[in-house]
């Protein structure tokens, strides 16, 4: 098999396989409109800039959350902890207004913050960029907090966490 030439019909499968091998942080992106919280699990999240502090998240073009973010121009990023895989699965479901059922949360900076999430960012939208079937949302960070607990990571279609290598394993 020639790994340099990929048939167009094989490309989506190969792309998905490659991306499954990239460890990603697991986050729940949230917003609120008319007192109703909205949220979805997102692994396409990263820092963008330190000065000013900015992040980006990628939301499905058809998602209810993106529609809310387009109206409110605000979103929160809940960086999930190693023991929050159940919350990640609950918010990964398509549609439904019951994603918050059984998940403790509170309003902080006028956004839904999940209790127990070791990382929290409140953001104002600074731009939206089309990206295929998703929209990249650029966020200006207005508040940031962390507890320092181990993050939840998604790798090879399973949840896990990060562990430091032993000194002998580090070059």
> From CA 131, how far away is CA 139, in angstroms rounded?
16
Q: Compare 58 and 98 and report the one with higher pLDDT.
A: 58
pLDDT digits (tens, 9 = 90+) for 30-60: 999 999 999 999 989 999 999 999 999 999 9
52 φ, ψ to 5°?
Answer: -80, 165
| 156: Cα separation from own chain's centroid | 17
pLDDT higher than 60, residue 2: no
- Cut 0.85: pTM above it: yes
Identify the CATH number of the domain defined by range 25-153: 2.30.110.10
pLDDT at 23: 80
Residue extents of the structural domains in the chain: 25-153
How confident is the model over 113-137, as a mean pLDDT? 96
Q: For residues 134 and 59, is the Cβ–Cβ distance under 8 A?
A: yes
What confidence category does residue 1 fall into, taking pLDDT thresholds of 50, 70 and 90? Answer: very low
Instruction: Report pLDDT for 19.
Output: 78
> Which tokens go with 35?
């007192």
| 164 band by pLDDT with thresholds 50, 70 and 90 | confident
């Amino acid at each position: 098999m020639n790994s340099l030439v990929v048939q167009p019909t094989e490309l989506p499968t190969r792309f998905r396989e490659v991306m499954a091998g990239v460890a990603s942080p697991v986050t729940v992106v949230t917003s609120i409109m008319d007192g109703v919280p909205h949220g979805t699990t997102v692994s396409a999240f990263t820092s963008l800039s330190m000065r000013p502090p900015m992040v980006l998240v990628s939301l499905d073009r058809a998602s209810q959350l993106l529609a809310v973010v387009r109206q409110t121009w605000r979103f929160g990023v809940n960086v999930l902890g190693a023991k929050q895989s159940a919350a990640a699965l609950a918010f990964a479901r398509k549609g439904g207004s019951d994603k918050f059922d059984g998940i403790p949360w509170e309003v902080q900076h006028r956004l839904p913050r999940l209790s127990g999430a070791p990382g929290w960012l409140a953001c104002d939208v600074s731009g939206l960029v089309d990206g295929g079937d998703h929209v990249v949302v650029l966020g200006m960070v207005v508040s940031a907090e962390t507890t320092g607990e181990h993050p939840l990571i998604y790798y090879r279609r399973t949840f896990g966490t990060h562990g430091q290598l032993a000194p002998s394993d580090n070059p």
